[in-house]
Amino acid sequence: MFGLPSLQKLLVLAAVIAAVWYGFKFIGRLQDARAAEAKLRAGGARRPKARWRRSKQPAAPEAEDMVKCPVCQAYVPARGASRCERPGCPH
């Protein structure tokens, strides 16, 4: 009675589930857009000049030159290296 459904039935079921899923996503996007437009209208008649603005992310750190310490065999920054407190270490 409860055997394995055919491949056609499984494909139709998957298509129905995908259609419902993407339908809800689409409706959610429409609601978000309408809410943003209502918020914009409630805030005043002024619109921002640029609709898409760059996010203010911090700049990535620049690469630093490294040199190998002849005493401790560790790589340290070429400029501003701190002392490792080993005897004879130049860094």
pLDDT, one tens digit per residue, over 28-76 is 999 999 999 998 888 765 555 555 556 666 777 788 888 888 888 888 8
Q: Phi, psi (5° rounding) for residue 67?
A: -130, 150
What's residue 40's pLDDT?
87
User: Is the separation of the CB atoms in 91 and 69 below 8 Å?
Assistant: yes
Compute the distance between CA of residue 27 and CA of residue 87 in angstroms, rounded to an integer: 69
What's residue 2's pLDDT?
73
What's residue 29's pLDDT?
95
Looking at residue 88, what DSSP letter applies? T
Could you state, in order of their start, the residue ranges of all structural domains in the chain? 1-44
> What region does 80 belong to: left with phi over 0, alpha with psi -120 to 50, or beta?
left
- Average pLDDT of 18-34? 96
User: Is the separation of the CB atoms in 76 and 91 below 8 Å?
Assistant: yes
Confidence of residue 18 (pLDDT cuts 50, 70, 90): very high
- Report which of residues 48 and 21 the model is more confident about: 21
